Amino acid sequence: MIDTILSIPFFINAQLGTGPHWDHWPFGPGYGDLNASLLKIAFCALILGFIIVFLKVLFGPKGIFRDHEMDREAEEMRAEQLKTLKEQLEAGEISELDYKFTIKKILH
C-alpha cells in the first residue's frame, strides 16, 4: 500500500516528463566531474562562512547580544591575576623575565 502511494508522484512526474527540482546542483547525488564537487564544497564553505560572520557580529566583541556581565567578570579576573603576579614579582617568587612573559599572556 505504501509503495503504491509513494509511486503515484513518481508516475505523474514520469508522465509529465518533469523530475523533482532538487535533482540538480548543489543537492545532486554527489558524483560527477571534479568541478561539480569543488563547487559543492565552495557552496558549503560559503554558507558556513556566512554563519560564522553572522554569529561573530551578534556575539563577538561589542556584539549586539553579547553578555556584558561576562566581560566585566573577565576584566575583574584579569586585574586579580595581574595583582597576584605583581605581588609574586615583588616577593621574588618569579623572575623579571617570567613576569614580562606572563603579563603578555594575561593581556592578550
Render pLDDT for 67-78 as a digit per residue (tens, 0 to 9): 888 888 888 999
Percentage above 90 pLDDT, the chain? 35
Output the CA torsion 4→8→9→10 (10° steps): 80
User: Residue 69: its pLDDT value, please?
Assistant: 83
pTM: 0.47
Cβ atoms 56, 81 nearer than 8 A: no
Cβ atoms 95, 101 nearer than 8 A: no
Place of cell 558549503: 44
User: Residue 17: its pLDDT value, please?
Assistant: 63
